[in-house]
Structure formats: structure tokens, C-alpha cells
């Protein structure tokens, strides 16, 4: 597991140093620990292998073996490489349209509606924006109701059309309303299915092409491991989304989804969800995630 990976690294290097026979082979042995931890965390095998190979090269290149504190140095190398693997820097939202449009995508239950509310709340309270939430999950009346409940909690308006199932029309009407009422950000919550299906993909693709969003975000449950990676790939192939939102990180002790998704779809993770409350949202910081992974 990821817990105490840094302690493990430090310890194994101390032992090696004590024995006075640190060699390339010993380094490789220690890095097996890292690889095992990554695999335990559901990181794809190839990604884990490439990662440890890179770390090994760096470690040997930096002469970690003769360092006074090789363990700590090793932890730093692993930390920096992990952060790099997850994109290095935080990537924010590009909201240039008037209004700016954000389209949410992802499977049912991934946390789209909750995140739409969290993001609206964050934009309202931290960036003094005036967002409008749009209910485009038209197949489940409960979904529209849920968005209204969330919106009421944060004091943000919702645009919905009770008897209309045409999401393109609803979204475009919502954008018109935003222009009239002075909402500078429009957040469109969409329908998800339990698994990727053609109808859902067609619908959201058509919606994306029609509203031309500033940001298309893919929302994914971080607890779903390798499935999360496959789903991310399928959505990205169709939507070419701009960023990923990793939800339910409060329940995920492993964090491997962050590494795998970033590596497979090469799109930045922009936000994380860390609970059910409206305030449980954070901008994604690769370095902090690396800290968390190292434990």
C-alpha cells in the first residue's frame, strides 16, 4: 500500500548503507518496493515500470549512493517524479466566453451533480462569479430535483425545462437566459449511464459541438481503479475533454487513479472532490498528491 512508502524507502536505504554494499542491484531491489506500492494502488503495470526505471536512472545519476542521507534523497526523487507524472503544475480553468460554458461529463454516480454545485459555489464565493446551473440530465426527474437541492444550498439559480428532452435546446436556451440575466458562467450537468453507451456518447458529443464549451470536464470516481482509466479513455476519445475531476478522494486511500488517468489520457486533473459537502472541493496539486501517495 501507499502508506508510509517514504518511511519504507528511507528504511531500506539506511539498511543498505549500513551494510556498506549499496549497488545498482540494491537500488533496483528498493525500487521494487515503489513498484509494488504503485501496483497496489491500481497503477497500470507499464506506467509503474517506466516510472521506476526513470527513478532508478535519476538516482544513480545523482549519486544518491554516496549521499549523506540517501534515503531522504531517494524520497525526494520519487516525490518529484510522481508529481511530474501527474502533470507537475496545477492547471486552472480557462473561462473566456461571455458567458463561459463548462460542460460536465461522466458516468452516472461519478459525482457530476455534486461537483457542478461545488464548482458553482467555488466560482461564486472565491472568484465572485455569477454562475447558472443547467439541468441536462433529462432522463431522471430525480436528477433535476437533486441539482435544484444543491443549487438552493449554495444560492445559485438553476435553468431547467420540465417537459423537454432535447438537451441541445435546453442548453442553448439556458445560455440565452444567462446572457439576459447576466450570468457569466454556465455549468451544464449532463446525464450519465452506468456504463459507457453509444446513445449517451452521441448525446453529449452533439451537445458539446452545439454549445462549444470553454471547458469540458470529465468527472470520475477515484475509487473505481482501472475502470476509471478505461472510462476516461473512452470519454476522451469521443469528447477530447479539457480536464479531469477526481471525486471521492476522501474514500480513496490509494490515489493510483490520478497517476494512471493522467498518463493514459494526458489531460490535466483539475479538481478533486473530497466529500459530499459543497465545500469539499480542491484544486488538484500534483505535488500534494505525491505527498499523499508517499504517506
Nearest-CB residue for ligand GDP: 273
110 makes contact with ligand GDP (CB under 6 A): yes
> What is the Cα 56 distance to its own chain's centre?
27
Residue 190 CB, nearest approach to ligand GDP (Å): 9
Q: Please indicate if the annotation marks 258 as binding a ligand.
A: no
Cβ-based nearer residue to ligand GDP, 73 or 144? 144
Q: In 3-state terms, what secondary structure has residue 69?
A: coil
Assess contact for 207 and 200: CB atoms under 8 A.
no
Which residues, 176 to 235, sit near ligand GDP by CB under 6 A? 192
Which residues, other chains included, contact 22 with Cβ-Cβ below 8 Å and sequence gap of 6+? 13, 16, 65, 70
Please identify which residue in 48, 274, 284, 294 interacts with ligand GDP, judged by CB under 6 A: 274
CB nearer ligand GDP, residue 51 or residue 115: 115
- Piece of the chain touching ligand GDP by CB under 6 A; list 36-44, 83-91, 105-113, 201-209: 105-113
Question: Of 247, 263, 267, 290, which one interacts with ligand GDP (CB under 6 A)?
Answer: 247
Does 127 belong to an annotated binding site? no
Cβ proximity to ligand GDP: between 192 and 268 the closer is 192
Asked if 88 touches ligand GDP (CB under 6 A), the answer is no
CB-based contact 140:191 (threshold 8 Å):
yes
270 forms part of the interface with ligand GDP (CB under 6 A):
no
C-alpha cell recorded at residue 155: 444560492
Contact code string over 146-165 relative to ligand GDP, x by CB under 6 A = x-------------------
Write out 200-268 in H/E/C secondary structure.
HHHHHHHHHHHHCCCEEEEEEEHHHHHHHHHHHHHHHHHHCCCEEEEECCCCCCCCHHHHHHHHHHCCC
Q: What distance in Å separates the CA atoms of residue 191 and residue 207, rounded to the nearest whole number?
A: 11
Rounded to whole angstroms, the Cα distance separating 12 from 17 reads 9
Shortest Cβ distance from residue 146 to ligand GDP (Å)? Answer: 6
Among 87, 106, 268, 286, which residue sits at the site for ligand GDP (rule: CB under 6 A)? 106
228: nearest Cα among 252, 261, 202, 186? 261
- Tell whether residue 52 is a contact of ligand GDP (CB under 6 A): no
Q: Is 38 annotated as a binding residue?
A: no
- 227 marked among binding-site residues: no
Which residues fall within 8 angstroms of residue 16, CB to CB, at 6 or more apart? 22, 26, 30, 70
**Sign of torsion over alpha carbons 275, 278, 280, 286:** positive
# chain residues binding ligand GDP, by CB under 6 A = 19
Q: Does 255 bind ligand GDP (CB under 6 A)?
A: no
Using CB under 6 A, which of 109, 157, 225, 295 touches ligand GDP? 109
- Cα separation, 190 vs 237, whole angstroms: 18
Q: Are 99 and 105 in contact (CB under 8 A)?
A: no
Per the annotation, binding residues for GTP are 106-113, 189-193, 247-250
Residues that bind ligand GDP (CB under 6 A): 106, 108-114, 146, 192, 247-248, 250-251, 273-276, 280
Amino acid at each position: 500500500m501507499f502508506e508510509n512508502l517514504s518511511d519504507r524507502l528511507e528504511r531500506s536505504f539506511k539498511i543498505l548503507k549500513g551494510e556498506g554494499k549499496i549497488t545498482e542491484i540494491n537500488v533496483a531491489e528498493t525500487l521494487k518496493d515503489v513498484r509494488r506500492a504503485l501496483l497496489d494502488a491500481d497503477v497500470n503495470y507499464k506506467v509503474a515500470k517506466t516510472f521506476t526505471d526513470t527513478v532508478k536512472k535519476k538516482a544513480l545519476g545523482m549519486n544518491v549512493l554516496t549521499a549523506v542521507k540517501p534515503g531522504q534523497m531517494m524520497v525526494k526523487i520519487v516525490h518529484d517524479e510522481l508529481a511530474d507524472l501527474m502533470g507537475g503544475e496545477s492547471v486552472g480553468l480557462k473561462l473566456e466566453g461571455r458567458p463561459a460554458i463548462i460542460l460536465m461529463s461522466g458516468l452516472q454516480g461519478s459525482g457530476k451533480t455534486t461537483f457542478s454545485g461545488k464548482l458553482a459555489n467555488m466560482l461564486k464565493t472565491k472568484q465572485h462569479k455569477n454562475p447558472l446551473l443547467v439541468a441536462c440530465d433529462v432522463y431522471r426527474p430525480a436528477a433535476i430535483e437533486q441539482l435544484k437541492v444543491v443549487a438552493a444550498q449554495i444560492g445559485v439559480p438553476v435553468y431547467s425545462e420540465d417537459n423537454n428532452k432535447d438537451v441541445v435546446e435546453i442548453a442553448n436556451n439556458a445560455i440565452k437566459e444567462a446572457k439576459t440575466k447576466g450570468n457569466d458562467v454556465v455549468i451544464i450537468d449532463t446525464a450519465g449511464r452506468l456504463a459507457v453507451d453509444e446513445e449517451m456518447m452521441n448525446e453529449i458529443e452533439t451537445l458539446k459541438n452545439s454549445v462549444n464549451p470553454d471547458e469540458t470536464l470529465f468527472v470520475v470516481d477515484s475509487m473505481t481503479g482501472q475502470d476509471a482509466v478505461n472510462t476516461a479513455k473512452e470519454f476522451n476519445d469521443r469528447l477530447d475533454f479539457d480536464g479531469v475531476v477526481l471525486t471521492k478522494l476522501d474514500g480513496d486511500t490509494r490515489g493510483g487513479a490520478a497517476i494512471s488517468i493522467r498518463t493514459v489520457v494526458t489531460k490535466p486533473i483539475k479538481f478533486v472532490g473530497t466529500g459530499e459537502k459543497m465545500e469539499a472541493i480542491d484544486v488538484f496539486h500534483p505535488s500534494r498528491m505525491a505527498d499523499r501517495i508517499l504517506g
